[in-house]
Every structure is written in C-alpha cells, then in structure tokens.
Amino acid sequence: MHVVLGATGNTGHVVAKTLLSRGQKVRVVGRSAERLQPLAAEGAEIFVGDATDGPALTRAFKGAESAYVMVPPNPSSSDFRAFQDRVSDAIAAAVQNSGIKNVVSLSSIGADKPSGTGPVVGLYNLEQKLNSIDRVNVLHLRAGYFMENTLPQVAVIRMVGSVSGPIRPDLKLPMIATRDIGAAAADALLLDEIQGKQTRELLGQRDIDYTEVATIIGKAIGKPSLGYIQAPDEQLRLAMMQMGMSANFVGLILEMAGALNSGYMKALEPRSASNTTPTSFETFVEEAFAPAYREQAAA
Ligand SMILES: NC(=O)c1ccc[n+]([C@@H]2O[C@H](COP(=O)([O-])OP(=O)(O)OC[C@H]3O[C@@H](n4cnc5c(N)ncnc54)[C@H](OP(=O)(O)O)[C@@H]3O)[C@@H](O)[C@H]2O)c1
C-alpha cells in the first residue's frame, strides 16, 4: 500500500493515478471525500484528513509500505512558514509513529539552504525532520521551478499586455511540469530502491528564462510580439495581494524570487539524464497555458 498526500493536487494526482494504473494499492489523502472521489472510482482507498493533524496522518500511514508527502501551498495564510512547520511536524510524527518504511518527499531546489529562500525554508525543515528519523528510507525530490507558476500570467497578459513578474528576464531556470514530478515520484515508489536518506533534483526538460517564456507563449496565443517585463517588488506586492494572497505569503514569494535572481537559490546538480524530465515548456503551453488563455478570453 502506498499513501499519497495532496492527492487531488498537481503532483499528487499524477502519483496516485500512475500507481493505480500499475495495479498498486493506493490510499489517497485530502480534505474532501468528494474531491477524492474520481480516484476512488479508479480503485483508491480514500482517507479524509488535514495535513496539519499528526494523529490523523499516522492513521493514514498505518499499514502502508510507502508514502508520497508534500506540504500544501496556503497562499492566504497570515503566517505561511508556521503553517508549513505544522504540516512538516505532522508528517514527521506520522512517519515516526506509523512504522512506514519508504518516503518520497516533494522538495525544491534551494532546500539545501536554512534561510533566505522564502517558502523553500519550509521544505528545508521538512527534509531535516525526515532525515532525523532513523529507520526510514527517504528520497527528497528537489524540483525546479514549476511551469504551472506561469499560469497566473493568463490574467497578467490580458491586463497589462505583457508577461510580468519579479524574476530577471535573462535568468535561466530549470522549469518543470508538475506531471513529470508526479511521474518521477511514482517511479521512485514503484522501484522500491530508496536506501537511507537521499536527495535528487528534477530539473525539467531544459533551463529557460522569462524572455523565452514570453516568446513561446506569444507564439501560441497569437501575440508574436509578446514580451516580458520585470516589475518592481512594490508593484507586484499590491497585484499579488489583489489576487488573494496574504501580505505574509507575498513577502515570502518575493524573497524567493530575490534568492533566485541573485543565484543564492539554484540547482546544485549538473544536468544529466537522471534529473532531466520530458515535458518541454512548448508542450506545457500548448496543452495547459494556451487553453487556459483561450478559456479566459472567451469568458
Ligand atoms: N511552485 C514551485 O515552483 C515549486 C517548486 C518546487 C517545490 N514546490 C513545492 O510543491 C508543493 C506543491 O505541490 P503541488 O503543486 O502538487 O500542490 P497543490 O496541487 O497546490 O496542492 C496539493 C493538494 O494539497 C491539498 N491540501 C491543501 N491544504 C491541505 C491541508 N491543510 N491538509 C491536507 N491537504 C491539503 C489540496 O487538496 P484538497 O483541497 O483536496 O485537500 C491540494 O489539492 C509545495 O510544497 C511547494 O513548496 C513548488
């Protein structure tokens, strides 16, 4: 039995579906039985619980061999780092108390740093807590920058006519599609070869900067002259809060962007076949970004 946290989310649903399609027993965890229902229809066992609830997660992990764990985003939280620490405490307690043998955790590039990387500090803490539990095998997947982070640009393009954000226009980022992370996590659980405590970076198909991001999006949505503008933090702070994020969460996102821009937060492994994943940004735009853009335009 494999347990999957965040099973209705970007990475978790791919982990769960991949394992189910390979005939594995899967217990999916989320806050709503209704949202988990499509996975139950494919054969998963449902467990409704909150990721901050250690005793509930312990029950969810009981009797399972392995788990996929992640710290859910919570953009409206007024103290997101405290929320992350409550989740990583609950996960660590459940790993410790359930007797589970293998864990694959969703981490990030930059999780080697104890401070100065915004939300990624919460993943550093998750890694440290899991590494301190003796008998369990843990693989931390340190993912690059999600391609899905560009989806809010659907609204930005419609509002300001360009792609815009805090990242330097020429900063090459290892951008990855979340489905590739889910597939890699499922493979790691299936191969059952995690030994001790390990990290592995997942760096997407290639490194790509926001100038190229705008060019690829522009081509796909019929705006061939679409460009990228790096906006000042203060302007972005207001815009992101208008999108429903708390001031605290926005502050952390801007700290992370600064850490990426300065090179403090970066991938540590040289690119190789084992940390490169298949989905290109062009494919992501064709299959996810452009349809979302057309849908909003139609509405
Ligand atoms: N964005 C990036 O560039 C990047 C890069 C590297 C790593 N990461 C990390 O990736 C993770 C996000 O992964 P993802 O995109 O797969 O997540 P996601 O799709 O945003 O969310 C996963 C699921 O978590 C569930 N959830 C939310 N709050 C919960 C709670 N309190 N208790 C239990 N479940 C809860 C939600 O399901 P229900 O609503 O159904 O409960 C949601 O579908 C974060 O840890 C982030 O730091 C992000």
Distance 60 CA to ligand 1 centre (A): 18
**Interval 246-294: pLDDT, tens:** 999 999 999 999 999 999 999 999 999 999 999 999 999 999 999 999 9
pLDDT, position 247: 98
pLDDT, position 152: 96
Range from 83-92, 132-141, 191-200 carrying the lowest mean pLDDT: 191-200
**For a substitution probing ligand 1, which of 3, 4, 11, 201 has the most ligand atoms within 8 Å of its CB?**
11
Alpha carbons within 13 A on the beta-carbon side of 232: 2
**Interval 122-131: pLDDT, tens:** 999 999 999 9
d(CA 41, CA 168): 44
pLDDT, position 192: 80
**For a substitution probing ligand 1, which of 146, 180, 203, 245 has the most ligand atoms within 8 Å of its CB?**
146
pLDDT, position 193: 82
Q: Are 211 and 165 in contact (CB under 8 A)?
A: no
DSSP string over 226-287: --EEEPPHHHHHHHHHHTT--HHHHHHHHHHHHHHHHTSS---SPP-TTT--S--HHHHIII
pLDDT, position 299: 86
Query: What is the average per-residue pLDDT within 212-222?
Result: 98
DSSP-based three-state secondary structure for 164:
strand
Confidence band for 298, pLDDT divided at 50, 70 and 90: confident
Confidence band for 297, pLDDT divided at 50, 70 and 90: confident
Distance 11 CA to ligand 1 centre (A): 8
Q: Which residues contact 218 (CB under 8 A, 6 or more apart)?
A: 224, 225, 226, 227
**Interval 112-123: pLDDT, tens:** 999 999 999 999
pLDDT, position 78: 98
Atom of ligand 1 at shortest range from CA of 143: 6
pLDDT, position 184: 98
Q: What percent of the chain is predicted at pLDDT more than 70?
A: 100
Atom of ligand 1 at shortest range from CA of 35: 40
pLDDT, position 159: 92
- Across all residues in the chain, what is the average pLDDT? 97
Query: What is the average per-residue pLDDT within 194-212?
Result: 97
The two three-digit tokens of residue 192, written as one number: 């059952």
Confidence band for 230, pLDDT divided at 50, 70 and 90: very high
Query: What is the average per-residue pLDDT within 12-30?
Result: 98
- Stated as kind and residue range, the H or E segment containing 165 is strand 163-165
Confidence band for 182, pLDDT divided at 50, 70 and 90: very high
Distance 72 CA to ligand 1 centre (A): 3
Query: What is the average per-residue pLDDT within 203-232?
Result: 98
pLDDT, position 175: 98
Model pTM score: 0.98
Q: Over 90: is that where the pLDDT of 223 sits?
A: yes
